[in-house]
A and B are shown apart, each in its own frame.
Chain A
Amino acid sequence: MKKVAVVGYGNTKFTKEVIPIESLLLESTKKVFDTTRNLSQDLVDGVIVSTNDSSKYLAAILSELSGIKPKVSHTVEHLCSSGTNAVISGFSYIASGLVDTVLITGADSVGNPGQVLEWDKSRGEFNHPIFWASLFTKAHKRQHNTSEEELAIVSVKNHKQAMDNPNAYSHNPYTISEIMNSKNVTDDLRILDCSYPCSGSSSILLATEEFAKKFTAEPIWISGIGQKTNSASFTKNELPTLSSSIMAANDAYDMAKINSKEIDVAELHDAFSVCELMAVEDLNLTEKNTGATYIRNLFNTENRKINPRGGLIGAGHPLGATGISQMIEITQQLQNKAEKRQISNAKNGLVHNMSAAGTSSTVLILES
């Protein structure tokens, strides 16, 4: 199996503005071409689009708009983890020897249809994500004695870290009190504990070891991949655990031949505050029943190890772009190019991306 590296990237700003999907896709792709040395259209073998948008044939449209005539082009849809699933596809095409380079562009616009999974009839009339988030939160409070303040700290931390992310949707610093007193969406969920759907696009270029040298002096290697789908039905989850994330992480750590203690920086799927508290434990970044204390300590010491770009809560959540944006953040961290967000001496990074209430999870390990 060939080694695969991230060799280029581009982000748009995440915004509440409604923007046509084709414009979003092109914008972040242009940034890859603007910033990657020696890159020309004839060197791009594959084009994969990750999105929940209902428009058709987007990989071909993006290819045409970018002047690329790829050997492989298609769309990947997997709800909120479309981005990392597209990365797995691109990785596989390169690792197998089918192609040498793949451009992966993720995008979604406000109001995209990926936010509610109508198929899941077991959710009854409570099919919006705020309801599964409320039930996870209630169960977390019950099992771990999690306080409202501990939940709020996740959101305060991630909004604060997003202040240094120029592409983040939110640049509002909030206090713990402001989060705790924000509007109750349900009895167990406040509006500022929720990530926001928004418009945005993120692109990365993947390449073989031979081609990587042409594009960058600092390739970042994808060393571990775990992807696990347990079901498509939220109600099959055992609350408050992300079992698909546990299995995906174990596979990714095994493939990368590292353990969780060697992870220096991580982008976690904080669709809601409780998701970050569950994920730090389920990915074994801290011991069981210590998630809230762990996050509080990071916040108190201004340690940005978890969600340095602000996570989904601070940066915004344009579904198809999110996983790619997480990849870009970890790549920049491992290249020591994350500016004010930089974690010192980061060698190994992790991306965690989930779909449909944690019924499916992807974990990717990157190394410098």
Chain B
Amino acid sequence: MNKFEEELRVGNFVTSECLYCAKIVWPPSAYCNNCFKNVSWRKVSPNGKLIEWSKKNNDIFCIAEFENSIRVIGKLDSKNVIPKPGQLLKFTKCALNDKPRFFFILD
């Protein structure tokens, strides 16, 4: 299991980052995809925006973007309003059991 999955399992949404290139390395990886130096790890800012969404049964699933580059698909609590791309949202929790799971709520 890599660092990203280890942290996800205990509820932390983290990204890899290259301090030499000053860039986020996403998807998470052990090495920078520009200079191949070791990355460092930190928590992702919880403030993001909605890229697109759809719905299956009662669950809204969406692409959320954080820090202008980190995108993941997760479940969205829309607070009973119809979401619109570009709307602000917040990351609320994450988990890793059989699959990675991300949860967001509209701001």
Q: Which residues of A are at the interface with B, using a C-beta cutoff of 8 A? A: 120-127, 131, 134-135, 137-139, 142, 185-189, 232-236, 239
Closest to B4 in A: A121
> Which among B27, B52, B74, B99 is the interface contact of A135 at CB below 8 angstroms?
B52
> Which among A124, A138, A188, A189 is the interface contact of B74 at CB below 8 angstroms?
A124
> Which among A135, A137, A187, A188 is the interface contact of B63 at CB below 8 angstroms?
A135
Shortest Cβ gap from A182 to chain B (Å): 16
**Cβ contacts under 8 Å, A139 to chain B:** 52, 85
Q: Is B73 an interface residue (CB 8 A)?
A: yes
Q: Is B77 an interface residue (CB 8 A)?
A: no
Q: A122 touching B73 by the CB < 8 A rule?
A: yes
Closest to A132 in B: B73
Q: A121 touching B54 by the CB < 8 A rule?
A: no
Chain B contact residues: helix, strand, loop or mixed: strand
> Which among B5, B26, B51, B73 is the interface contact of A131 at CB below 8 angstroms?
B73
Known: A131-B54, A187-B56, A235-B73. 19 other contacts (CB 8 A): A121-B4, A124-B73, A124-B74, A124-B101, A124-B102, A125-B75, A125-B99, A125-B100, A131-B56, A134-B54, A135-B54, A138-B52, A138-B53, A138-B54, A142-B85, A186-B55, A188-B54, A232-B27, A239-B51
Closest to B71 in A: A235
Q: A233 touching B27 by the CB < 8 A rule?
A: yes
1/0 contact string of B58-87 vs chain A (CB within 8 Å): 000101000000011111000000000100
> Which among B54, B72, B99, B101 is the interface contact of A186 at CB below 8 angstroms?
B54
Shortest Cβ gap from A330 to chain B (Å): 33
Query: Which of B26, B63, B74, B75 has the most A CB atoms < 10 Å from its CB?
Result: B63
**Cβ contacts under 8 Å, B11 to chain A:** none
Q: List 16 A-B contacts (CB under 8 A).
A: A121-B5, A121-B8, A121-B27, A122-B26, A122-B71, A123-B72, A126-B61, A127-B99, A131-B54, A131-B56, A138-B52, A138-B53, A235-B71, A235-B72, A239-B51, A239-B63
- Taken together as a complex, chains A and B put the C-alpha atoms of A187 and B62 apart, in Å, by 13
> Which among B8, B56, B63, B85 is the interface contact of A235 at CB below 8 angstroms?
B63
**Cβ contacts under 8 Å, B51 to chain A:** 235, 239
> Which among B28, B52, B61 is the interface contact of A121 at CB below 8 angstroms?
B28
Given contacts A121-B5, A125-B99, A125-B101, contact A186 B56 (CB under 8 A): yes
**Cβ contacts under 8 Å, B72 to chain A:** 121-124, 235
- Taken together as a complex, chains A and B put the C-alpha atoms of A189 and B5 apart, in Å, by 31
**Cβ contacts under 8 Å, A121 to chain B:** 4-5, 8, 27-28, 72, 100
Shortest Cβ gap from A89 to chain B (Å): 26
- Taken together as a complex, chains A and B put the C-alpha atoms of A126 and B56 apart, in Å, by 10
Closest to B61 in A: A126
**Cβ contacts under 8 Å, A138 to chain B:** 52-54
**Cβ contacts under 8 Å, A120 to chain B:** 27
Query: Which of B8, B52, B53, B101 has the most A CB atoms < 10 Å from its CB?
Result: B52
**Cβ contacts under 8 Å, B102 to chain A:** 124
